[in-house]
Amino acid sequence: MTPRSPRRKRTVHRHGTILVLAVAIVVQGGCQTPPQKPATAGVTVTFNPLPLSVGDAQVTVTLTDESQAVSGATVEVEGNMNHAGMKPTFATLTEVAPGSYRGTLSFTMAGDWFVLVNVVEANGKRWTHSIEVPGVRVP
């Protein structure tokens, strides 16, 4: 093989360093997943009608903290399929009773879904909780 010039070696090393740094940043940054549900918090998610099928479904989220209803929170649910490449669906829920939030979520395709419950409590604390919603059927 022909020997490489020092200039080319420097370029290769520089590019290598940039590559490693870029990957390191993503690994480090990628770990910043959304804050998870606090240990004391309770989340119950119910759907209506059951069994779930493609189309709109009423979703009710009940929030508690140390068995006390969590009122005044902003609650948004995000439905995702478990396959990459599918557009998520969103619903912002309204509080219908202390700690109970309700809205309508659209399931656009049959299959396995997961729903992210994004909560911003009245005190500004944010957290996300994920639940599996398997087997949404063709109507």
Q: Residue numbers of the site for other proteins (CB under 8 A)? A: 1-2, 15, 19, 22-34, 54, 78, 80-88, 90, 109-112, 114, 116, 130, 134-135, 137-138
* Least distance between other proteins and beta carbon 37 (Å): 15
Other CB atoms within a 10 A radius of the CB of residue 99 amount to: 19
Comparison of 62 and 111: residue with beta carbon closer to other proteins: 111
Comparison of 104 and 132: residue with beta carbon closer to other proteins: 132
CB 94, CB 59: distance < 8 Å: no
Q: Are strands 89-97 and 74-81 parallel, antiparallel or unpaired?
A: antiparallel
Comparison of 99 and 103: residue with beta carbon closer to other proteins: 103
* Least distance between other proteins and beta carbon 122 (Å): 23
* Least distance between other proteins and beta carbon 10 (Å): 16
Q: Which residues pair with 53 in a beta bridge?
A: 137
* Least distance between other proteins and beta carbon 97 (Å): 29
* Least distance between other proteins and beta carbon 73 (Å): 21
Residues 6+ apart with CB under 8 A from 95: 71, 72, 73, 75, 101
Residues 80 and 117: their CA atoms lie apart, in Å, by: 11
Comparison of 69 and 131: residue with beta carbon closer to other proteins: 131
Largest distance between two CA atoms of the chain: 77
Comparison of 15 and 68: residue with beta carbon closer to other proteins: 15
CB 88, CB 82: distance < 8 Å: no
